[in-house]
Amino acid sequence: MPFAEAFSYICTSAFPVGTAAASSSPLGTVLTRTERDQMATKVVSASPRVEILAKSGINEIPTEYVRPESERLDLGDAFEEMKKAAEGPQIPVVDLQGFDSPDEEVRRACVEEVRKAATEWGVMHIVNHGIPLELIEQLRKAGKEFFDLPIEQKEQYANDQSSGKIQGYGSKLANNASGQLEWEDYFFHLIFPEEKINISIWPKQPTDYIEVTKKFARQLRAVVTKMLEVLSLGLGLEEGKLDRELGGMEDLLMQLKINYYPICPQPDLALGVEAHTDISALSFILHNMVPGLQIYYGSRWVTAKCVPDSIIMHVGDCLEILSNGKYKSILHRGLVNKEKVRISWAIFCEPPKDKIVLKPLEELVADGTPAKFPPRTFEQHIQHKLFRKTRGDFKTPN
């Protein structure tokens, strides 16, 4: 399946990988033309940019943005939900500086801290990650300045998913069985490896967007390398194992999606991003210190705090598969609010779509432990989640 067919599902494949093994259809099966045609009927035509709706002065959101009643039971304004969550369980904060310590005991403690967070939560705030805070501020500034441009200027970069042009400025098409839309616009493009990026579709305004984003991508790739080393050690593997299994420096892709969530007049009815697990191996998130991220943990939704100078890291489906379920691909979603625009920078680290077969690592099933996931390429995994979602098989927990 061309990657263009799957883009709508990259960030919102609302079907946890952990339930995949129970599917009646093999995960490795490539979809037939009939199945693809059935899925195509689920995609509706694009609505106006959400930014336009938000600035039009509406007091009620259009019906296509209203979530089903069962899903609305625990929705609310992101700021209010963050206040409510202050006394509950909190996403772990991991200090990555310990991994660079010459003290082996300190280094092992850092590995254990990451292992525990990835096993129990599937998500963590990373501090002392090594990316200069000044560069992160420059990235935030450049992204905000792009979305501050007039709509007609942003439309010069509009994507067209129907023709396979997936990179660029866009708004989410409906990709679920019931047809709801999400309260967000976005800009999406590949940022690493540099030899594979297409600079021609990157924003020319602001003028420093390209330079800043390329610098950030190089810095983040170093963090990706380090995190995969730590996570490898946490599984009892040698440091470079996971990075190699995912394609290494040449083939592991980093896709950037800048999400723009306008102020919403009815945040108790809408979602910026619906509940999903990421199809990536790892996902990294920066934001403008406006809350919105929620994690499904312990049979409840936990609202993420805004931790200064941190980067949020999610475990994605690919890493859950390689680890044979030891690391959890976490279900999460994005709330909206009445007060402030939220902007987030999500970077998805993905293997090549057909060069690598994803399966539990031999070292983790060598003792007779059964493999929880059948072998499949990344492309086949995308197809499976896409088909299950458009059939409406997955129900969001209440």
Task: Indicate whether 391 pLDDT > 60.
Answer: no
Prediction pTM value:
0.88
Task: Indicate whether 265 pLDDT > 90.
Answer: yes
Q: What is the pLDDT of residues 112-168, one digit of tens each?
A: 999 999 999 999 999 999 999 999 999 999 999 999 999 999 999 999 877 778 899
The pLDDT-based confidence of 87 (bands split at 50, 70, 90) is: confident
Task: Indicate whether 102 pLDDT > 90.
Answer: yes
* Side-chain-facing half-sphere of 25: CA atoms under 13 Å: 15
pLDDT score, position 178: 64
Note whether 270 and 66 are within 8 A (CB): yes
pLDDT score, position 173: 67
* 150 upstream amide cis, omega within 30 of 0: no
Q: What is the pLDDT of residues 288-311, one digit of tens each?
A: 999 999 999 999 999 999 999 999
Task: Indicate whether 29 pLDDT > 60.
Answer: no
Task: Indicate whether 12 pLDDT > 50.
Answer: no
Note whether 131 and 216 are within 8 A (CB): yes
pLDDT score, position 86: 84
Which residue numbers are catalytic? Answer: 257, 276, 278, 332
Q: How far apart are CA 356 and CA 353, in angstroms?
A: 7
Note whether 394 and 15 are within 8 A (CB): yes
Of 259, 260, 261, 267, nearest to 337 (Cα)? 267
Task: Indicate whether 13 pLDDT > 50.
Answer: no
- Average pLDDT taken over every residue of the chain: 87
Task: Indicate whether 90 pLDDT > 70.
Answer: yes
pLDDT score, position 388: 65
The pLDDT-based confidence of 389 (bands split at 50, 70, 90) is: low
Structure tokens at 144: 């905000």
Q: What is the pLDDT of residues 184-235, one digit of tens each?
A: 999 999 999 999 999 999 999 999 999 999 999 999 999 999 999 999 999 9
Of 293, 303, 312, nearest to 85 (Cα)? 303
Task: Indicate whether 324 pLDDT > 70.
Answer: yes
Q: Which residues pair with 350 in a beta bridge?
A: 253
- Percent share of the chain, pLDDT over 90: 77
pLDDT score, position 24: 29
Domains of the chain (ranges plus CATH)?
3-390 (2.60.120.330)
Of 152, 206, 340, 339, nearest to 260 (Cα)? 340
The pLDDT-based confidence of 175 (bands split at 50, 70, 90) is: low
pLDDT score, position 385: 87
Residue with tokens 């409906």: 174
Q: How far apart are CA 320 and CA 182, in angstroms?
A: 26
* Side-chain-facing half-sphere of 300: CA atoms under 13 Å: 11
